[in-house]
Amino acid sequence: EPEVTQTPSHQVTQMGQEVILRCVPISNHLYFYWYRQILGQKVEFLVSFYNNEISEKSEIFDDQFSVERPDGSNFTLKIRSTKLEDSAMYFCASSVGSGAGSLTQYFGPGTRLTVL
Amino acid sequence: GQSLEQPSEVTAVEGAIVQINCTYQTSGFYGLSWYQQHDGGAPTFLSYNALDGLEETGRFSSFLSRSDSYGYLLLQELQMKDSASYFCAVHRDDKIIFGKGTRLHILP
């Protein structure tokens, strides 16, 4: 069964450094998403991406964040100048459709980001 | 604005039935989903309701009333492996907004 994959599973970085989290969505999916989950809290939407551009973003997704689909398979989240409060689990997800058609978003296993 | 409300914790006995309620307030509502998340794991999709009524998938059922902005997840024949957090989530535009989750504790 196809699945979303994410690398690395755990990333440790120093405050102020840049990190890139990588995701490979399911191959025939057209919509891609990033979510984050601070330990013990709810899953929070960051950004959705379609047709090589951001379709929606939350207030969390400020200029510190960027997303890119550098090739036909990868989908990345870049966090510039990381802060302690960026420590969280970051989930990538993909879906065939969106809006009324986004019946199911398939989540990757997540990348645990620890900022020291 | 938008909000979702669900109980923070529910406890039930193995083999029993449990219902987890969710009320929401949002614009641009397409439908309501339920996700399961085990500790340290990723959210996994359980069900989706776009129209009023009950959707059944095995031991799990989900209900939606759009007029009441209310839904619930019903878990039957509870098993210990069902111990997890359950999130209701509203679909709007190009995103899903998750509730804070309900921690389900199952007693033997």
Residue A5 near chain B (CB below 8 Å): no
Residue B73's Cβ-count burial label (10 Å; 0-12, 13-18, 19+) is buried
pLDDT digits (tens, 9 = 90+) for A22-42: 999 999 898 999 999 999 888
A48 touches chain B (CB under 8 A): yes
- Count contacts between A and B (CB, < 8 Å): 62
Residue of chain B whose Cα is closest to the Cα of A37 = B42
Question: Looking at residue B27, what is its pLDDT?
Answer: 82
Give Dmax (Cα) for chain B: 42
pLDDT tens, position by position, A46-99: 999 988 999 889 999 999 999 999 887 899 999 999 999 999 999 999 988 765
- The verdict on A39 touching B (C-beta cutoff 8 Å) is no
Burial category of A96 from C-beta neighbours within 10 Å (exposed 0-12, middle 13-18, buried 19 and up)? middle
* Percentage of chain A exceeding pLDDT 90: 72
Residues B67-108: tens digit of each pLDDT? 999 999 999 999 999 999 999 999 877 678 899 999 999 999
